[in-house]
Amino acid sequence: MNKKLLSAPYLLWAVSFIIIPLIMIFYYGLTDKSGGFTFSNILEISTSINVKALLLSLLLSLISTLICLLLAYPLAMILNNLNVNQNSFVVLIFILPMWMNFLLRTLAWQTLLEKTGVINNALAFFHLPSLNIINTPYAIVLGMVYNFLPFMVLPIYNILIKIDPNVINAARDLGANGLQTFCKVILPLSWPGVISGITMVFVPSLTTFVISDLLGGSKILLIGNVIEQKFTQANNWNVGSGLSLVLMIFILVSMAILSKYDKDGEGLI
């Protein structure tokens, strides 16, 4: 039996529901309203508004990804050391919040962060200065980190629990100190998980529009908002598709660069 054939149903599925729809986006992105071929939709990205929105999205998503990574890696290591027999328990703890709808959870942050919100009431109670981050980029970063942290923790954790403790013990026996063991053994072994995590956080942060709307007070325009507006408000699917294409290429390139650091050559791309 040829194992490769197992991927046949998926291939069929991917062609029908991924490739063909993608071609339709390409078609819309490269034509004008009357159906003629044009590059103008793609070039729309170079207007100052869109460049600014793209750069801001990049900045915020990079910061969020970095914070997620810095928070998640130690977390995954702690969880791994806890030796919980039930791996699924740890996984579930991080997935559990997602059972409360995404829109509701993000709205709840509004209730927490508002000027007269829960956190500020608590701070006022202890006579502490108030926290005014709602409707600023800080709140957006918080929202991204909050919503996407599980996507960083889970892949890293999943890799860490697979590492044979004997490998680490061997490193220690051979005289490596804690830091050396981490840098030379644990980190390289967990690299695929880190790459997965970065992708799963970076991409949704880069393309989100709901978080920036709800926590940024719609004062901050991200590239996701621009694209969303093209589709739902301006009703201009051509430009919307054009910009989506640019965004897609952009992400592909970032991921290609990232995968260069993936030693196995088996990163996500």
Partner 1 sequence: MMKKFFCKFYLAMIFILLYAPIVTLIVLSFNASKTRAKWGGFTLKWYSSLFQNEAIMDALYNTITIALISALIATFVGTAASIGIASMSRHFKTIFMSITNIPMLNADIVTGISLMLLFIAFGVKFGFATILLAHITFNIPYVILSVMPKLRQIDSNIYDAALDLGASPIYAFFKVIIPDILPGILSGFLLSFTMSLDDFIITHFTKGSGIDTLSTKIYAEVRKGIKPEMYALSTLLFVSVLILLIAVNKAPKQRKEN
Partner 2 sequence: MKKLIVLFTATAIIVSSLAGCAGKNSVSDAEKVYVYNWGEYIDPEVIDMFTEETGIEVVYDEFETNEIMYPKVASGGVSYDVVCPSDYMIEHMIQEDLLAELNYDNIPNIANIDETYLEQSKQFDPENKYSVPYCWGTVGILYNKTMVDEPIDSWSVLWDEKYKDNILMQDSVRDAFAVALKSLGYSLNSTDELELNEAKDLLIQQKPLVQAYVIDQVRDKMIGNEAALGVIYSGEANYTQKENSDLVYVVPKEGTNVWIDSWVIPKNAEHKENAEAFINFLCRADIALKNFEYITYSTPNKAARELIEDDALKNSIALFPDADTLKNCETFKYLGADNDELYSTLWNEVKSN
Select 73 or 109, whichever has its Cβ closest to partner 2. Answer: 109
Select 9 or 165, whichever has its Cβ closest to partner 2. Answer: 9
Select 33 or 263, whichever has its Cβ closest to partner 2. Answer: 33
What is the C-alpha separation between 133 and 114, in angstroms, rounded? 8
Site for partner 2 in 52-91 (CB under 8 A): 52-53
53 binds, among partner 1, partner 2, none (CB under 5 to 8 A by kind): partner 2
Q: Out of 42, 91, 210, 236, which residue is the one contacting partner 2 (CB under 8 A)? A: 236
Q: Out of 9, 35, 36, 265, which residue is the one contacting partner 2 (CB under 8 A)? A: 9
Q: Out of 31, 168, 217, 259, which residue is the one contacting partner 2 (CB under 8 A)? A: 217
Least distance to partner 2, CB of residue 24, Å: 13
Select 137 or 158, whichever has its Cβ closest to partner 1. Answer: 158
Does residue 35 touch partner 2 according to CB under 8 A? Answer: no
Q: Out of 12, 14, 15, 96, which residue is the one contacting partner 2 (CB under 8 A)? A: 12
219 binds, among partner 1, partner 2, none (CB under 5 to 8 A by kind): partner 2
CB 41 within 8 A of CB 218: no
Select 106 or 171, whichever has its Cβ closest to partner 1. Answer: 106
Residues in the chain: 269
What is the C-alpha separation between 28 and 242, in angstroms, rounded? 7
135 binds, among partner 2, partner 1, none (CB under 5 to 8 A by kind): partner 2
Select 43 or 103, whichever has its Cβ closest to partner 1. Answer: 103
Residues that bind partner 2 (CB under 8 A): 1, 5-6, 8-9, 12, 33, 48-49, 52-53, 110, 114-116, 134-135, 213, 217-221, 225-226, 229, 232-236
